[in-house]
Structure 1
Amino acid sequence: MADDDNPDHFGEDDFQELLRNLLGGAGGAGIDPAQLEGLSRMGIDPAMLQQIMGQMRAAFRQSAGAPDGIDWSAAKTQALHLSNRDGLAIATGERAEFDQAFALATLWLSEATTISDLAAAPVAITRGQWVEQTLPVWQELAEPVADSIAGALTSVLDEQTPEEMRQLVAGAGAFMRRIGGSMFAAQLGGVIGRLSLEVVSGGDVGIPVMPDGVAAILPQNFADFGRDLDVTDDQLALYLATRELAHARLFRHARWLRLHVISQVTDFARGIHVDTSALEDLASRFDPSRPEELRSLLESGALLPQRTPAQEAALTRLENLLATIEGWVDVVTADATARLPEAPKIAEAVRRRRAVGGPAEQAMASLVGLELRPRRLREASAMWRAVTEAVGPAERDALWDYPDLMPGPGDIDDPEGLILRLRARAAGEAPPRDAMDDALDALLAEATAEGGSAAGDDPAADGDEGPGSGGSSDEGPDDPRPV
């Protein structure tokens, strides 16, 4: 309470009592006016503090009894708010048109690939449905970055807290971590919500964000994609339906592929460490009445430092993997839609779109530090085309049966080497030697030489087993050597 000898004094006990009142839900109604007057003398805006404390009370209520982690509900709320702003329903006529496109695309794909059809029927979905179905994957991809930002924010705020306030805020680390994580989650939700306004199909972003075996198209974004292409809606719908089915079929057939892609993305994300100097600079001048500064810092990517060599290598591997996947999808889609006069024009528009990305994809790259660009898509498509023409669709598609059969970056560079291996395997012959075989032989030869050298240094290896042994050098009567 206030010092009786100094009525104008507003001490630590007063401040603690005020915090208890604010956090207890009084909202200012039951707070002593003298306390608010004391805050004013300290240079603190009472109204602003009450607003902040109201937000903190809400955060406490949301996280009460929850584990010490990140509350992703803010991401879902923000994403759905943006995705549903232009309405929820899909017209019955639109749904029927896409059902027909999917039915014909299924027949065409059966002629272009030996990979089997989906168990579930493809569907037309709303933007909000796309958000709800893909959010778990986005959360998994972003969680390492969210953890890093939340931990860094906790550390920086702890360092910035004056010594005399340390005891007052002791034990608030876990709470501040949830606050930082929730702030990031809200930003991620905004990016996902804006992305839902751009994507045309479930596989549009290249990674398997839809549930396993599900193919979908978003009619609400279909018109925007085809607006400047000068192609008919029925041809565009057929092409996009075929491409979406090919993408979903591949991931359903090669069930290991989904985990392979996701693990490579999360391996990259786990290597991200937040630039604490940028946070420290912000904390030193942070104005709670202007949260947009922190939001801008998150969106700009300024908190994510330059990539390490290990991250660059991980990103290169991921880009090669995405190019290998989408190159196969490109070739199979082209073969299946050969009857469409405008298919080449649509295919080029899809490739350009994947190479550049929309605003929401660029925002995702800034927020998470990852660009999901298949930079070698054309080279990978050329490889799959050469393989198809050389050995046929069945041998080509068999490369997705097991992880060790899938083409690698070297095969994109040298399709002829891959074709020679496939032909040798089909003929039951040993595959032609490559640089990997030569390297393995060199290692084995080196190991053999080292083993032989070690044996040569062992007296027992030369038959010299010492006195009293059966290998004595004394010539006996049965010694075959000449005297």
Structure 2
Amino acid sequence: MAAEDQPNPMEEFLRQFGIQPGPDGTFDLGQLMGPLQQAMQQFSRQMSAAGAGSGDGLNWRFVKDIARKVTAAAGPDPSPSASDAVAIRDTVGLADLWLDQHTAFDRTNAPAATWSRAEWVEGTIATWEQLAGSVSTSLAGAVGSLLQRAEPEAAPMMAMMEPMMKMAATGMLSAQVGQGIGQLATDVVSGSDLGFPLTAKPVTALLPTNIAHFAEGLDTPIADVRLYLALREAARQRLFANVAWLGPQMLALIEHYARHITIDASAFEEAMEAQMQGGLTPERMEEFGQQMAGRLFQPTLTSEQVEILGRLETLVANVEGWVDDVVAQTTATLMPRADALLETVRRRRASAGPSETALKTLLNLELRPRRVRDAANVWAAVRSAKGVEGRDAVWAHPDLVPTGADLDDPLGFAEHGHVGGSAAPEMDDLDAMLARLIEQERGSDGDAPREDGEG
């Protein structure tokens, strides 16, 4: 098809609202004003009905609605029964009792929670809003770039349509973020299964539906699987509750990473043109948000994002490696199938499964803490040399926690601390920024913490 015979996206979009070009194929801007204003009012009413906001910010009501639809489409998601709640409560109580002997950290005293997938979405949505909200800044830049590329004669019309285009773009991105959160909800077995905290306050939450899926094909009673996963979740919650700097620093790293996400201009323009040809409705934005999942973000990372990702992967490896060591010691004489369950967890962690796909959809984040085994060896070496108290005391300050280089030398770290000495390196600009974010999160004016990434 010759270029002149191809449909014009703007003309196709305007036709959806009954706006036709004149005999010469051009539009009279004066005559366009009334129909175009009516079209924008109609679209605004549709978006209001869907809960969409205006401006550049993501629409979190729409995000949550899409996430709930994704969980519903993944299969039955019944509200946990009273017997489920009792089983989880008793299991978490037993897990805490066992853990008391194998960690220096006190239990959180937070109630055990039994969540459906939909309840996981509800329970974590505020944190996702914090982490992903800054992506809208990149989106606003993409809208502006698209408007600037319009033909000069179309500039007045594009300026009139800018508010509607921004609403459509944020609606599409909101649908993509909702898709990612919904995918995570179908895969995680507990509240902090991803290795970082997703609730404002400690809560030991387990998802019976996903635990049952995790247990499929395992030669282990479901009660043992549930207890093993409860031990891991309760251990993580103790760590996050007792180490005040850890959760805020992990979330600050993710938030700063997300702030520098770049929208793929060609993919974005393709999606906008397709929406314009088909009419702008919440349903169309949901459809394109799902189709664009994994394509909307620029795949290339900045050097700063690469550095942040290295730090984050090291922190997650340290968290999960510490959990591996604590739970291995806890179950050594009490749960014969624990080693097999640990291998299942490790295989699940190593595979590019639904959680990894969902994080890429959400934040273009390929979080692969490859060195969890190395971190577990470091924590085991420290425990062997200095006992449980000595191992857990390493979490007292971010400068004491193993770096990527330390994971290469477990015995050296156990004996001497950081490779090259224990003095804290000079704080760089990124560290200073993260420290400010953490202080804001904690509402304190204390000493600024830092954490070194892989070397």
2:261 paired with 1:272: yes
1:362 corresponds to 2:352: no
Q: CA deviation at 1:118?
A: 0.8
2:247 to 235, 243, 258: 258
- Structure 1 position 66, deviation (Å): 6.0
The answer on 1:418 being equivalent to 2:407 is no
Are the aligned partners of 1:146 and 1:185 in contact in 2 as well (CA < 8 Å)? no
5 Å-filtered alignment, 1:23-422, equals 23-24=40-41, 54-59=42-47, 69-84=57-72, 86-156=76-146, 158-170=147-159, 172-280=161-269, 288-289=277-278, 294-295=288-289, 298-301=292-295, 303-338=297-332, 339-421=334-416
Deviations 1:34-68 (A, max 9, x none): xxxxxxxxxxxxxxxxxxxx444323677899665
The CA deviation at 1:246 is: 0.2
| Equivalent AA in structure 2 for residue 387 of structure 1 | V
Report SS of the residue matched to 2:156: coil
Instruction: Structure 1: state its 5+ residue gaps.
Output: 25-53, 423-431, 441-483
**Offset at 1:298?**
2.8
Question: Are the equivalent residues in 2 in contact too, given 1:365–1:371 (CA < 8 A)?
Answer: yes
User: Residues 175 and 413 (structure 1 numbering): CA distance in 2 closer, same or farther, change over 3 Å?
Assistant: same
Q: Are the equivalent residues in 2 in contact too, given 1:115–1:250 (CA < 8 A)?
A: yes
Residues 265-300 of structure 1 show CA distances to partners (whole Å, capped at 9, x for unaligned) of: 122222322232443466667663295885466313
Identity of aligned residues (%): 34
Q: C-alpha distance in 2, partners of 1:438/1:22?
A: 60
Q: 1:106 to 1:203 in 2, by over 3 A?
A: same
Letter in 1 for 2:336: P
List per-residue Cα deviations over 1:222-269 (Å, max 9, x = no partner).
111001111111111111111000001100001211111011112222
Which letter does structure 1 place at the counterpart of 2:248? L
Structure 2 unaligned spans of 5+: 1-18, 427-455
Query: 1:368, CA displacement in angstroms?
Result: 2.0
Cα separation, 2, equivalents of 1:61 and 1:147: 25
Q: TM-score, normalised by structure 1?
A: 0.74
Aligned letter for 2:228? Y
One-letter code aligned to 2:236:
H
- Name the count of aligned residue pairs: 398
Q: Is the 8 A contact 1:212 1:251 kept in 2?
A: no
Q: CA deviation at 1:304?
A: 1.3
| TM-score, normalised with respect to structure 2 | 0.79
Q: Choose 299-308 or 116-125, whichever is displaced more.
A: 299-308
Q: Which has the higher contact order (CA 8 A, sep 6+)?
A: 2
Distance 1:23 1:343, change over 3 A: same
C-alpha deviations, 1:11-40, integer Å up to 9, x for none?
33322222233445xxxxxxxxxxxxxxxx
